[in-house]
């Protein structure tokens, strides 16, 4: 199959409206580590319309090369022209590793491309490393070296699996945003730029975008917050979230929530933490009136310090909390706000 023909670590540099997504930089950061272990380099694949201006930014974040596929058909994301672009790049340049952000775009593009180039794809990875497969040598089976070992949580975070793709290339993974570390940008860094256009001929698979409707964004990005004060079903009402806001304010934090709070219409979905929401890693995470369903926990368990306030002492949230307070949140939260205010004033 000529697997050795495949060289280099490629990352899909996702951009929307000609602005690079943070996950592109995170993938470059991780890609650099992997490339070092494999003694190779990192290539960003930049796909879009009039996107050449983004090349330098990718170089500053660690791209050694940038392959640019620039075509008017690629203005807004559509599965088909993008999949055609990325699959063509893979077939032409044969990377051994192809990383894609596990975003609403990447989780559509990744599977389509992997099926097209007939390789495996591991979804939503949180750890990537180079190692052997099988991890421990097994008699009668060749142990392959320098394999990409892709670790991902499954079952809402209840299980963890490490996956390899030993017999197909490239080894593809989508990577959960917010998990990998980007490097400190190197000002003035330059990358080798390769322009490539496989040609785009619309067919039945090209869908038509009738409208692009942007959500009005008036909420803070909870993924950037240092302190999150998160509320769930136990908060009881939209009005009660005011208490959480006051606590967040004292600590310079932001309010976030569990899925239950979104379903009840108390807070918008972009403040939701958890599997169907965002993965967060603040320094302090308050889980208030959140029972701690695994889908929620998987989105916040890597926070540095977790404080849970819940009236039910058997709530699973206490299993992940560093400090647990059992009692009525309607009394504890205002008391805490008041106490912290007093401490800060001293």
Partner 1 sequence: MKIVVCVKQVPDTKGGVKFNPDGTLNRAAMLTIMNPDDKAGLEAALRLKDQYGAEITVLTMGLPKADEVLREAMAMGADKGILVTDRVLGGADTWATSTTIAGAIRNLDYDLVITGRQAIDGDTAQVGPQIAEHLGLPVISYAQDIKVEGDSVIVQRQYEDRYHEVKAKMPCLITALSELNEPRYMTPGGIFDAYDNEVTVWGRADLKDVDDSNLGLKGSPTKIAKASDKVPKGAGEMLKGDSPEELVNALVGKFKEKHII
Partner 2 sequence: MDFSLDKKHEMARTLFKEFAENEVKPLAQEVDETEVFPQGTVDKMAKYGFMGIPVPKEYGGQGCDPLTYVMCVEELSKVCATTGVIVSAHTSLCIDPIMTYGTEEQKKKYVTPLAKGEKLGAFGLTEPGAGTDAQGCQTKAVLDGDEWVLNGSKCFITNGKVADVYIVIAITSITEDKRGRKKKNFSAFIVEKGAPGFSFGTKEKKMGIRGSSTYELIFEDCRIPKENLLGPEGKGFPIAMHTLDGGRIGIASQALGIAEGALERAIEYTKERKQFGRSIAQQQNTQFKLADMAARIEAAQLLVYKAAMAKATQKVYSVEAAKAKLFAAETAMAVTTEVVQLFGGYGYIREYDVERMMRDAKITEIYEGTSEVQRMVISGALLK
314 binds, among partner 2, partner 1, none (CB under 5 to 8 A by kind): partner 2
279 binds, among partner 2, partner 1, none (CB under 5 to 8 A by kind): none
What's the CA gap between 200 and 223, in Å, rounded? 36
Q: Which of 80, 189, 194, 236 binds partner 1 (CB under 8 A)?
A: 80
Phi/psi for 270 (5° steps) reads -75, -5
3-state secondary structure of 58: helix
196 binds, among partner 2, partner 1, none (CB under 5 to 8 A by kind): none
Cis peptide before 134 (omega within 30 of 0): yes
* Helix axis angle, 241-250 to 329-345, nearest 10°: 20
Q: Burial, 61: exposed, middle or buried (Cβ in 10 Å; 0-12, 13-18, 19+)? A: buried
Question: Nearest approach, Cβ of 55 to partner 1 (angstroms)?
Answer: 24
What's the CA gap between 344 and 185, in Å, rounded? 35
Question: Nearest approach, Cβ of 294 to partner 2 (angstroms)?
Answer: 20
Q: Which of 5, 314, 342, 346 binds partner 2 (CB under 8 A)?
A: 314
Under the binding rule (CB under 8 A), the answer on residue 312 touching partner 1 is: no
The single residue listed with the structure tokens 């960003």 is 44
Q: Which stretch binds partner 1 (CB under 8 A): 34-42, 50-58, 60-68, 118-126?
A: 118-126
Cβ nearer to partner 1, comparing 186 with 339: 339
Cβ nearer to partner 1, comparing 52 with 75: 75
How big is the CA angle at 89 (ends 88 and 95), to the nearest 5 degrees?
Answer: 125
Under the binding rule (CB under 8 A), the answer on residue 265 touching partner 2 is: no
- Count Cα atoms within 13 angstroms, Cβ side, for 94: 8
Q: Which of 92, 142, 195, 319 binds partner 1 (CB under 8 A)?
A: 319
3-state secondary structure of 122: strand
Q: Which of 312, 319, 322, 328 binds partner 2 (CB under 8 A)?
A: 312
Question: Nearest approach, Cβ of 295 to partner 2 (angstroms)?
Answer: 19
Specify the DSSP class assigned to residue 223: G
Cβ nearer to partner 2, comparing 289 with 299: 289
Question: Nearest approach, Cβ of 326 to partner 2 (angstroms)?
Answer: 11
3-state secondary structure of 33: helix
Question: Nearest approach, Cβ of 312 to partner 2 (angstroms)?
Answer: 7
Under the binding rule (CB under 8 A), the answer on residue 319 touching partner 2 is: no
312 binds, among partner 1, partner 2, none (CB under 5 to 8 A by kind): partner 2
Q: What distance lies between CA 195 and its chain's CA centroid?
A: 27
Under the binding rule (CB under 8 A), the answer on residue 76 touching partner 2 is: no
Closest by alpha carbon to 153, among 303, 299, 341, 332? 299
Site residues, partner 2 (CB under 8 A): 312-314
């Amino acid at each position: 199959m000529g697997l050795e023909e495949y060289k280099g670590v490629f990352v899909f540099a996702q951009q929307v409206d000609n602005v690079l997504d943070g996950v592109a930089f995170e993938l470059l950061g991780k890609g650099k580590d992997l490339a070092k272990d494999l003694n190779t380099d990192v290539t960003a694949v930049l796909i879009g319309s009039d996107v050449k201006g983004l090349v330098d930014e990718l170089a500053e974040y660690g791209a050694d090369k940038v392959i640019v596929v620039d075509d008017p058909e690629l203005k807004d994301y559509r599965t088909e022209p993008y999949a055609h672009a990325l699959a063509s790049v893979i077939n032409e340049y044969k990377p051994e590793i192809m990383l894609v952000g596990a975003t609403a775009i990447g989780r559509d593009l990744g599977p389509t491309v992997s099926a097209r180039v007939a390789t495996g794809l591991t979804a939503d990875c949180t750890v990537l490393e180079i190692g052997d497969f099988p991890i421990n040598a097994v008699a009668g089976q060749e142990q392959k070296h320098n394999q990409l070992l892709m670790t991902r949580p499954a079952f809402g975070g209840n299980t963890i699996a490490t996956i390899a793709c030993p017999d197909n290339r490239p080894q593809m993974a989508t990577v959960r945003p917010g998990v990998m570390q980007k490097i400190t940008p190197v000002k003035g860094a330059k990358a080798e730029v390769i322009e490539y256009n496989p040609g785009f001929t619309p067919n039945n698979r090209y869908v038509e975008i009738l409208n692009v409707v942007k959500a009005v964004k008036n909420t803070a990005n909870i993924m950037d917050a240092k302190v999150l004060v998160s509320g769930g079903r136990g908060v009881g009402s939209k009005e009660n979230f005011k208490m959480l806001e006051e606590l967040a304010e004292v600590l310079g934090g932001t309010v976030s929530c569990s899925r239950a709070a979104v379903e009840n219409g108390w807070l918008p979905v972009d403040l939701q933490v958890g599997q169907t929401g965002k993965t967060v890693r603040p320094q302090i995470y308050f889980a208030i009136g959140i029972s701690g369903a695994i889908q929620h926990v998987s989105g916040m368990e890597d926070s540095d310090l977790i404080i849970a306030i819940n009236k039910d002492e058997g709530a699973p949230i206490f299993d992940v909390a560093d400090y647990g307070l059992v009692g009525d949140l309607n009394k504890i939260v205002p008391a805490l706000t008041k106490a912290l205010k007093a401490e800060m004033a001293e």
